[in-house]
Amino acid sequence: MCESPVRHAHSLLFVPATRPERFVKALASGADCIIVDLEDAVAEGSKDSAREQLAQHLPQLTPGQLTRTVVRINAVGTRWHEADLALLRNWTMHGATVMLPKCEDAATLRGVAQKLGDGARIVALIESLAGLDAADALAREPHVVRLAFGHLDFQLDVGIHATADEPELAFARSALVAASRRARLPAPVDGVTTDTGSAERLAVDARRARAFGFGGKLCIHPNQVAGVNEAFGHTEAERAWARRVLEEAARHGGEAFSLDGRMIDLPVIRAAEAILGG
């Protein structure tokens, strides 16, 4: 199974499945990936028609666009779930990824992967305390390419009323980052910023996510994409520093050395490599 862009995406932009005319526009917005939403963005009475519209428009995407497309299906146990799986089974073989909401059990996720077929790639969306408790097991499932944090539903489940900077959710964010690391998955994806009109709020949320060790963030409006990409990317100053570190490391033949008054050893060299690699 080839490497999916979803694994290292910084910005993942939601698009309602009921608005297929936006799919290609969203892919051209600068977002690393899009998430076509069959779940929360679609009213119950429109679920079947949304799936039909998606089925009509998926063939219009190029192979490259398909690998950047995630589909959030309806949760296990809902009356739309099986039909969602039936549609996506063929498309996962062509590179599309499935986001499974309300993940709480590895065996259930494994059953979803089996129905999707060998080519299945799944983003496990953690939205409850039970999901957080199962994060390690979910992350280790072979078809899971990434964890994501549905922090709004998580607050409802646990009864948390988080303040603006969300210190109340620090334990959950740290747990998801640690679970991803233990399973050798890429860093997880943080939840949305609901204030689509505030670049400052988005910047604060994205910087916090990166500080916790997240590798990306969910977006609900195209105007959030650039801010997320900026927050999770590296500045030219950081890249210039990384190049100097690697140049000096090559000169010192693996020995520790000092650069700008800072000791440079293997962990710092690895950090510089990561900056230039990302």
Q: Return the closest-CA partner of residue 6 out of 27, 38, 40, 34.
A: 34
Tens digit of each residue's pLDDT (9 = 90 or more) over 136-167: 999 999 999 999 999 999 999 999 999 999 99
Domain ranges, ordered by start, for the chain = 5-232, 236-277
pLDDT of residue 236: 72
pLDDT tens for the 278 residues of the chain, in order? 457 899 999 999 999 999 999 999 999 999 999 999 999 999 999 999 999 999 999 999 999 999 999 999 999 999 999 999 999 998 999 999 999 999 999 999 999 999 999 889 999 999 999 999 999 999 999 999 999 999 999 999 999 999 999 999 999 999 999 999 999 999 999 999 999 999 999 999 999 999 999 999 999 999 999 999 999 986 678 778 888 999 989 988 878 899 998 999 888 888 888 777 65
Phi, psi of 218 (to 5 degrees): -75, 140
pLDDT of residue 1: 47
pTM above 0.75, yes or no: yes
Q: Does the domain at residues 5-232 carry the CATH identifier 3.30.70.2970?
A: no
